[in-house]
Chain A
Amino acid sequence: MKFIRISINEFKALLNRACESYYGHKYDFEDTAAIIQWLEIHDLLGIINFLGITDVNPKKLNLTPILLKDKKKCFVFDNQKHSLIHTGSIITDMTLAKCHQDNFCHSIINNTLKPIVILPNLIKCSQYGYYAKAWWAEPEKNLLYSASINPNEMYPNFSTIKINNSILNNKSELDLICSKHSINSIESYLKIPPVSQKGKVTQEILACEFKQRFNEKITSGLDIEATQYTKLLHIADQILVEASEQSRLGAGE
């Protein structure tokens, strides 16, 4: 497999162009680009997750989730089977605003794809001085994913847990909690026995490991698989305007 090494700044500029090209100015393309960048830098497949959604045309489709329930300390959204890449930020905005008002907010996001996108959004909660937790499941693999962060931290802790429980029946639901005070264990929300035994945790990425991943990339750059890079570049290039003699006048020629 061929790889191309690019710097973080270069990657950021490329993603900004790609997202601006893909979303237009109808959405906050810079914020979305920053989320994809965060995932890729931290080895969480940002590019693949983005390329996987580019068959949808956001300029023709309303990507805004439906707000099903708005109660004290609680929201329920229907993400209409869209990727959280499109909507993670505005859902987090809503959660944060309610947490600011009620000191706590539990948002349930139904029918969502790519829930991993919630990770960089948890950092926003932390930067506001809140505790935050998120979890989702992959029932066919008996896996529960959970991430949490304390106030004013740079990175969350992220765990993948092997669990065999009927609670994992809704595979496209994501739970996000943002709170002024520390949050109860995920198990208490799921009403399952504690999963503290190490054997059940199949993968764990600690905050310090996320930091390490970032430091590696800032030092040496990112290795991006060549075909993915080409696809990204192709999307990004759609924002460029064809050159002509007339257009060269617009550069002062």
Chain B
Amino acid sequence: MNNHNHSLKQAKTSLRSPAKVMDLNRLGSFYPYKLSFMRKLMRKVMQEQWSINRVLFNLDKEGYGETVYEITTPSTCYHFVVFANFLDSTIRTDRVIAEAWDMTVTLRHGPFKPDELETLKENVPRQEKGRMSAESLVLSRANKSSRNFEYVVNQLSSGMQPCIKKINEVGYLYRTTAVYGSGKFGMADWGKIKLAYQDFKEPFSAEMFACFMIRQFSLDQADHIAFKRAPELAVRLDDDIKRYFGIGNATGLGMAPFLIKHPLLINSWIETRELALAQVISHTLPNKNTLQALNLLIQRAIIHLNEITTNNESQNKINLEASQSLGSIIQWLNKETLQEWGQFIDYVTNHYNVEAQELINTILIEIHPEEVLSLEENHDIEEIYALSPEMKLLDLRQIIEKQYQWALQYDFNSKSANAVFWYRSEEKMEPRLGDRDIDQGAEKEILIGIARAVEQCHSTLKKLPPEIKINNVAEFVFAYPEHRQIIRRIQTMAKTKYGEIQANLLDKDVLPIHLLRCKLSFFGVGKFDPKSRLWVRNTMFQGAPITSDIGSKYKDDWIFPIMPNNQMSKGNEIH
């Protein structure tokens, strides 16, 4: 066994338990981390020095028109096409059911061919109602931030930089409202992308890159409009401020079923994160350098949390408590002599809530790149949930009682445990949450109640009449085909550690927002601004490099972005 395998094995022995990690409340406290998809993507773009050039910039003075960027990577070429249109502010909505947007985009393989622009123009702005070809990887759209965009353009056209504090309130110029990939609307299948377009072989990396490019266009468009308004007076947006602009995002329930329907993929994401943490704890000891880095990053995280602006009271409370916890943890660190990270983790676990615990875990991973980046290469997950028909029923029962014990604790005869149902609306198939006592459509509910399905299967197993001679799973599903689907899942997931979210998603008090935040954290999204328990606004790529940074030294240090100390923006505060 080589050293790497040995250390991996060692780390695996100290992985946290699924009961702890897969608790919904904890998953809803995850922060973006070193191996989040955006971080990985930016490392790749910067290290491989992708070339990103505007090859068409056909915008009028209001910023409406078409823009095409050509992206050259070491292996191939792509183009990113933007259609910027006028949108009446009265119909601007984040909801997936919208029919028009300020900006619609697509990321496509190959060099840009001008003769394709008309076909794209007929389809891309129509989004779900258009059709794309297999050369397209991503289809997306975004709306202007009504608070920020006009303000920034006004400032620039007046020869001034925007006020950082004002920008901080929102953090972006545009907000994406849907990002489609993986074969939707005729685009390239995920199977094709990972084989033919190696640059985007990591899950969701093409989608993340499209968001990065939307951000870039939003900055280019603001500069352009300001210059057109006042050619003599206008200034370009300062690069430090550009980096501080992220791209907004509004995420609703659509993400939640994904987490439930892809447990093998989720297992892989969470296992990688847990392995990163376990490697740090089991392979490294605190030293002067790492303690200093820890201290600095905690301080930055405190500022970051304090700077987050949201009208959501519970999120404000979470941020405030987390910030106070970190302050108190720094004081403890300054007093204690740490011998090992386990001692630190134990202290945080015993004294602070899960939000603070996961912040500290994120920071520990961040300051140990040498331990973590070896896990960067994502192993392709083939999601096969095959039945093991020969399994003895007793073995199946034992698996359920051992690994799905969490699912057996609910009483599904009680009204509250079975109070809600998830369904797809006829409006763009939007996933929605219904109340069984109020809403129509419970008979069409999505199979998302894993705990209930497991409990029902277990109950049937327990109540099997003795006269019915059933030995194995094949005979069981022959007699009870309604349990075949959940048994395939149980048998498959029994071979994994994480993957099953240990919560009853049919409970009356279910908080889907935890599911959203969990998935978004793996994407690399921060600054959560919940609008209800069902949807959240957030910011992507804030603090990340901009395209003009490609080619310069990359620090990979944009976790917990904070306001830049920009001289040009001082004195411009809005009172």
Binding site for B on A (CB under 8 A): 5-10, 17, 20-21, 25-31, 64, 67, 89-90, 93-94, 96-98, 100-101, 124, 127, 218-221, 237-244, 246-248, 250-253
Q: Say yes or no: A240 contacts B426, CB within 8 Å.
A: yes
Q: Which of B186, B426, B438, B475 contacts A242 (CB 8 A)?
A: B426
Q: Which of A10, A90, A242 contacts B183 (CB 8 A)?
A: A10
A contact face: mostly helix, strand, loop, or mixed:
helix
Closest 5 CB pairs of A and B: A9-B183, A252-B534, A7-B183, A241-B441, A97-B474
Q: A96-B474, A124-B386 are in contact. Are A26 and B482 (CB under 8 A)?
A: yes
State how many angstroms separate the Cβ of A241 from the closest Cβ of chain B. Answer: 3
Q: Say yes or no: B387 contacts A7, CB within 8 Å.
A: no
Q: A237-B426, A251-B425, A251-B534 are in contact. Are A100 and B390 (CB under 8 A)?
A: yes
Q: Which of A64, A90, A94, A241 contacts B426 (CB 8 A)?
A: A241
The stretch of B23-31, B188-196, B233-241 that contacts the partner chain: B188-196
Q: Say yes or no: A241 contacts B444, CB within 8 Å.
A: yes
State how many angstroms separate the Cβ of A220 from the closest Cβ of chain B. Answer: 5
State how many angstroms separate the Cβ of A231 from the closest Cβ of chain B. Answer: 18
> Which B residues are CB-close (under 8 A) to A28?
477, 481, 484-485, 488
> Which A residues are CB-close (under 8 A) to B477?
28, 90, 93
A20–B434 Cα gap in the complex (Å)? 19
A98–B439 Cα gap in the complex (Å)? 46
Q: Which of A5, A67, A97 contacts B389 (CB 8 A)?
A: A97
Extra inter-chain contacts (14) besides given A25-B447, A89-B484, A246-B439, CB under 8 Å: A9-B183, A67-B478, A90-B481, A90-B484, A93-B484, A124-B386, A237-B426, A239-B424, A241-B425, A241-B432, A241-B441, A243-B425, A251-B425, A252-B533
In the complex, which residue of chain B has the Cβ closest to the Cβ of A101? B390
Q: A241-B444, A253-B95 are in contact. Are A27 and B484 (CB under 8 A)?
A: yes
Q: Say yes or no: B434 contacts A239, CB within 8 Å.
A: no
B535 at the binding interface (Cβ < 8 Å): yes
Q: A240-B425, A250-B434, A251-B253 are in contact. Are A127 and B386 (CB under 8 A)?
A: yes
State how many angstroms separate the Cβ of A169 from the closest Cβ of chain B. Answer: 29
Considering only residues 184-221 of chain B, those with a C-beta below 8 Å from chain A are 184-192, 195-196
Considering only residues 414-443 of chain B, those with a C-beta below 8 Å from chain A are 423-427, 429-435, 438-441
Q: Say yes or no: B389 contacts A241, CB within 8 Å.
A: no
Q: Say yes or no: B95 contacts A93, CB within 8 Å.
A: no
> Which B residues are CB-close (under 8 A) to A20?
447
Considering only residues 150-205 of chain B, those with a C-beta below 8 Å from chain A are 182-192, 195-196
Q: A8-B191, A93-B389 are in contact. Are A240 and B186 (CB under 8 A)?
A: no
State how many angstroms separate the Cβ of A67 from the closest Cβ of chain B. Answer: 7
Mask, B122-156, CB within 8 Å of A = 1, is 00000000010110000000000000000000000
Mask, B301-337, CB within 8 Å of A = 1, is 0000000000000000000000000000000000000
A97–B476 Cα gap in the complex (Å)? 11
A31–B483 Cα gap in the complex (Å)? 12
Q: Say yes or no: B474 contacts A9, CB within 8 Å.
A: no
Q: Which of B186, B424, B425 contacts A6 (CB 8 A)?
A: B186
State how many angstroms separate the Cβ of A4 from the closest Cβ of chain B. Answer: 8
Q: A31-B484, A247-B441 are in contact. Are A94 and B474 (CB under 8 A)?
A: yes
Q: Say yes or no: B183 contacts A26, CB within 8 Å.
A: no
> Which B residues are CB-close (under 8 A) to A124?
386
Q: Which of A7, A96, A246 contacts B438 (CB 8 A)?
A: A246
Q: Which of A17, A64, A247, A252 contacts B252 (CB 8 A)?
A: A252
A238–B432 Cα gap in the complex (Å)? 16
Q: Say yes or no: A250 contacts B189, CB within 8 Å.
A: no
In the complex, which residue of chain A has the Cβ closest to the Cβ of B188? A7
> Which B residues are CB-close (under 8 A) to A238?
444
Mask, B462-492, CB within 8 Å of A = 1, is 0000000000111101110110110010000
Q: Which of B191, B432, B444 contacts A239 (CB 8 A)?
A: B444
In the complex, which residue of chain B has the Cβ closest to the Cβ of A238? B444
A9–B253 Cα gap in the complex (Å)? 20
Q: A27-B481, A28-B484, A90-B481 are in contact. Are A97 and B134 (CB under 8 A)?
A: no
Q: Say yes or no: A7 contacts B189, CB within 8 Å.
A: yes
A94–B184 Cα gap in the complex (Å)? 36
- What are 8 residue pairs bridging A and B, where the CB atoms are less than 8 Å apart in the complex? A8-B191, A9-B189, A26-B482, A100-B389, A221-B183, A244-B440, A251-B431, A251-B535
